[in-house]
Structure 1
Amino acid sequence: MNRKNRILALLAAVLILGGVAVGATLHAAGRSAEKDRAQPGGPRVHPGEVVLDAPGLSVFRNMAWGPHRDEIATVPADDPAGPRTSSGVRCLRFHAAADTGICLQAVHGRLRDSYRAVVLDAHLRELRRYDLAGIPTRARVSPSGRSVAWTVFVSGDSYAGTSFSTRTSVLDTRTWSLDRDLEEYRFFLDGHLHQASDLNVWGVTFADDSRFYATVATGGRTYLVRGDRTDRTLRTLHTNVECPSLSPDGTRIAYKKRVEGASSDAPWRLYVLDLRTLRESATAEHRNIDDQAIWRDDHTLVYSLPGDYGSDLWTVPADGSGSPRLSMTAALAPAFTG
């Protein structure tokens, strides 16, 4: 083959390879777009008005693939598999009570993402926004809607290990006064004022607008604490409690507990603590739970587990009876309207 023919062959090979690369890219883009449009067999989702003041709704972060993924959506609480109405408001974490919502969002930048907390009204309209110091992980609204709380990771991104740091803030939605870091509260360990550089606070659950429960970690242990915004204190009640959730009647705490013999990557099981006796009992859910459960009512817990879309919602009786049941696929961060 002479020099001219070799050059022509080389050019032909380059053109063929380029065509293959372009074709593969277009095919991948087409597959990605198809995935974004719909997931076969997944939940039906359509855009519409989402409100927090209509009774009998489940409100949650929609995880189904498509244009409405990560948007706050609703279904009738008695028909969790029904068609979803999606709001257009995207949240990484969400909670709502008494016509008030808290939405922790990612703000995508050219060089890096940032995060913010957005307080929403009953029609998901923004009331206030606050910059966050890290990655959102927990959010709660008080039963009256007059206080909200959120937790972010400021280093690390998992509670399973030891090298993480959190920051938890509580906001008064009447005065807009913000306690930016609950680590600044006075911490009483077994009744004694305790100061430690390794203090972490996360997972607020409200009793009312000034009293709450949360997790405090220090010295390699975790504690359930009772917090008071009026006197700015945290007081320990029980050990080995993470991500507490107060029952509607105010008598029990659902939480994730580290159990002996479990993998360090999957250490938690779902328990319930009686606040009157401090007696704890396991639920019938034996899988690893890395979530802050929600009380559907005084008898039923709702929590997330990994699923085909990233997260599914499950329920289990709070008294240890029964068995876990799949409640909703492709959903996260639920709340229930009155």
Structure 2
Amino acid sequence: MNQLRNRTRVLILLIAVLLLGAVGTGAVLHAADRTARRDQAQPGAPAVDSGDVSLQKPTSGRQLVFRNMAWGPHRDELTAVPADRPDGPRTASGVHCLRFHAAGGTGICLQAEHGALDDTYRAVVLDDHLKEKRSFPVAGIPTRSRVSPSGHLAAWTVFVSGDSYAGTNFSTRTSVVDVRDWNLRDNLESFDIVKDGRPYQAHDVNIWGVTFADDNTFYATLATAGRTHLVRGDLASRTLTTLHDNVECPSLSPDGTRVAYKKRVPGLPDDAPWRLYVLDLATMTETPTAEQRDIDDQAVWTDNGALLYALPGDYGADLWTVPADGGGAARRVTGAAVAPAYVG
């Protein structure tokens, strides 16, 4: 009797083990199927194929290079399209970037390196064939990057603490490197500040969002005492001079006369406080663009007349454009894309 009872228990145990194994196998297969479907190009996503992507000036037209956000084997890679056909098929480079910008045959790519316990990040200077020239470890989450028109200088901003500009509990670190001699200004907060015509010092200074005029002069955002300011930077004299209030993530027009930026507008929600504006540097006159949605990006000028920027989309972000003079209307340029730069 006891022997029969023991055999019954063993049989029940064996059946339970088999059932648990079947459930586990099913879960693994289901997860693998979901991953496989995710890694396939989704319906409606742009066509993306591997190929050569260059930062050299094209023989005809211009290229638009950006981080591809569409699910598939080329997600997060730098991809290129003809600038006049931005929604067309994409050529994927195989180079992964979280943030990217390029000018003058130089690219700056902010990358994540995934470790067993945590992610680390680095800023990678790329040549005109997207080959790594040099890299620098960075102290936090990448957020902004820019290259000077000549390609001689590259800048990047990371969050040292916090992960959003929306609140006040964050700290940034902004660096500039000269790719000719690798002279690195590791932290622009060490520059002398001239605020409202007087020297200024404070422990709460943050600098972010560099945009270059040339190989010495740049503009950026300076935050202190709960306010933001547009500053003009001078690399040779290591100075930052305030010019205008309530300016974040500036972007200088190709002719150097205007700055596009995001401005906090009173009365908007705390988590969506920004609208896209343009500032005339000669008159300090502000012009709101026709884009009425919240903008948390550093816009790119398509030319002297229009702006390109990212807004949330089905795959993470889409690129939109709007005239810089306050007229017209915003329109979508392409989907599943972020961190654009024009080449040529």
TM-score (norm 1): 0.98
Q: Amino acid of the residue matched to residue 46 of structure 1?
A: D
The alpha-carbon deviation at position 109 of structure 1 amounts to 1.1
Per-residue displacement from partner, 1:31-57 (whole Å, max 9, x unpaired)?
212211221221100001100114310
CA distance in 1, matches of 2:93, 2:179: 23
Report the equivalent of 1:24: 27
- Given the alignment, which residue of 44, 48, 59 partners 1:45? 48
**2:251 pairs with 1:245:** yes
Q: Amino acid of the residue matched to residue 224 of structure 1?
A: L
Tell me the matched-pair count.
338
What secondary structure sits across from 1:37 in the alignment?
coil
**2:216 pairs with 1:210:** yes
CA distance in 2, matches of 1:89, 1:294: 21
After superposition, residues 102-251 of structure 1 pair within 5 angstroms as: 102-251=108-257
- Given the alignment, which residue of 312, 332, 335 partners 1:326? 332
Q: Amino acid of the residue matched to residue 290 of structure 2?
A: A
Per-residue displacement from partner, 1:154-187 (whole Å, max 9, x unpaired)?
1111111111000000111112101000000001
CA distance in 2, matches of 1:51, 1:260: 43
After superposition, residues 291-310 of structure 1 pair within 5 angstroms as: 291-310=297-316
The alpha-carbon deviation at position 119 of structure 1 amounts to 0.7
Per-residue displacement from partner, 1:43-81 (whole Å, max 9, x unpaired)?
100001100114310011111111111111100111111
**2:73 pairs with 1:70:** no
Q: Where do 4+ consecutive residues of structure 1 move more than 2 Å?
A: 1-11
What secondary structure sits across from 1:249 in the alignment?
coil
Q: Amino acid of the residue matched to residue 14 of structure 1?
A: V
CA distance in 1, matches of 2:334, 2:67: 11
- Given the alignment, which residue of 12, 16, 28 partners 1:13? 16
CA distance in 1, matches of 2:108, 2:336: 20
The alpha-carbon deviation at position 131 of structure 1 amounts to 0.9
What secondary structure sits across from 2:53 in the alignment?
coil
The alpha-carbon deviation at position 9 of structure 1 amounts to 3.1
CA distance in 1, matches of 2:13, 2:323: 70
Report the equivalent of 2:106: 100
Once superposed, what is the RMSD of the aligned Cα atoms? Answer: 1.2
Identity %: 67
What secondary structure sits across from 1:171 in the alignment?
strand
The alpha-carbon deviation at position 299 of structure 1 amounts to 0.6
More off after superposition, 31-40 vs 183-192 = 31-40
**2:277 pairs with 1:271:** yes
- Given the alignment, which residue of 57, 63, 67 partners 1:57? 63
CA distance in 1, matches of 2:11, 2:229: 74
CA distance in 2, matches of 1:179, 1:219: 24
What secondary structure sits across from 1:25 in the alignment?
helix
CA distance in 2, matches of 1:73, 1:63: 10
CA distance in 2, matches of 1:154, 1:303: 24
The alpha-carbon deviation at position 337 of structure 1 amounts to 1.1
CA distance in 2, matches of 1:10, 1:172: 69
Q: Amino acid of the residue matched to residue 268 of structure 2?
A: A
CA distance in 2, matches of 1:139, 1:312: 18
The alpha-carbon deviation at position 24 of structure 1 amounts to 2.0
CA distance in 1, matches of 2:250, 2:216: 17
Q: Amino acid of the residue matched to residue 27 of structure 1?
A: H
Gaps of 5+ in 1: none
What secondary structure sits across from 1:118 in the alignment?
strand
Q: Amino acid of the residue matched to residue 100 of structure 1?
A: T
The alpha-carbon deviation at position 110 of structure 1 amounts to 1.2
Q: Amino acid of the residue matched to residue 15 of structure 2?
A: A
The alpha-carbon deviation at position 15 of structure 1 amounts to 1.7
CA distance in 2, matches of 1:313, 1:168: 25
CA distance in 2, matches of 1:86, 1:161: 35
Report the equivalent of 2:265: 259
